Amino acid sequence: MQGTQSQNTYNTQPVRLPQSPKRVSAVMLAVGLTLLVAAGCGSMPGPPLEVVPSVDLDRYAGKWYEIARYPNWFETDCVGTTAEYTLRDDGKVTVVNTCRAQTLDGDVDRIEGVARVADENTNAKLKVQFFWPFEGDYWIIDLADDYSYAVVGNPGRDFFWILSRTPTLDEAIYQDIVEQMPAWRYDPERLEQVPQPPGGAED
C-alpha cells in the first residue's frame, strides 16, 4: 500500500532493509510515503478530495501492480513496483511493497509495514505506517466494480498512483483515468508510466 501521517502507537512488522545500499528503492519509497506526505498535505488548493463510497477490504487484499504514478524522489529508479496487502486478525492490513532497481532485471528490494482504516464508513481512507510513529494517507479515489484496478491519492494531491491486478491495464481504462485526473485536481501531464515485467514474472 503505497501510502501518504496523525500519530498512532500501534506496532509494525519489522522493517526489512535492502541488500544493496546503492539505490533509492523500497526503503526510500517507505520513507518518502511516511515523511514527505506527512509534510506535504494541502499543497494544492481546491475542494477536498473525494474517495469511493465503499471498499471491501477482503476483495481489495492481494497483489497490485503499479501502472503509473506521479514522479517522486523516493521512487527514483523503481520499476516493476508492486504492493501486496494481507488482512490481519486485528483488522489492520500488512503491507509489502516491492521494487526493482533501475531495470526489470535489477535487484529486488522489499519493505513491510501496516495499514489501518481511518474512515470506517467507507474503508476508502487508510493510514499506512512503515516507521513508528509516522503514518501516511492512502485514499482510494477510484475503484473498478470488479476490483481489477484502483486509483490512489492523498488529500494534499502530492501523490497519485494507478494500480492494477495485472501488469498491464487496458488502454481505454487507462485513458479514462487520465481524463478524470483534472476533475480530481490532479495534473495528467505529471503522470509517468511504470515498467512491469511481461506476465508479472516473479523473481
- 8 located within any domain: no
CB 191 within 8 A of CB 201: no
pLDDT beyond 60 at 10: no
Higher pLDDT: 130 or 20? It is 130
Residue corresponding to grid cell 485536481:
185
The owner of cell 526489470 is 104
Its pTM stands at 0.79
pLDDT digits (tens, 9 = 90+) for 169-186: 999 999 999 999 999 999
Of the two residues 143 and 47, the one the predictor is more confident about is 143
Name the nearest CA neighbour of 30 among 184, 139, 187, 138: 138
Q: How many domains does the chain have?
A: 1
Question: Which DSSP letter does residue 172 get?
Answer: H
10 domain-assigned = no
Q: Which residues, including other chains, have CB under 8 Å from residue 90's CB and lie 6 or more apart?
A: none
Structure-model confidence comparison of residues 57 and 29, the more confident one: 57
118 domain residue, yes or no: yes
Which of 25-29, 54-58, 105-109 is predicted least confidently? 25-29
Residue 2 counted as domain residue: no
The number of helix segments (H) and strand segments (E) in the chain equals 4, 9
Angle of CA points 29, 130, 161, to nearest 5°: 45
Establish if 20 belongs to a structural domain: no
**14 assigned to some structural domain:** no
**Residue 71, domain member (yes or no):** yes
Q: What is the CATH number of the domain that holds 81?
A: 2.40.128.20
**How confident is the prediction for the chain on average, in pLDDT?**
82
Q: Tell whether 43 is covered by a domain.
A: yes
Which domain, by its residues, includes 185? Answer: 26-200
13 versus 153: which is more confidently predicted?
153
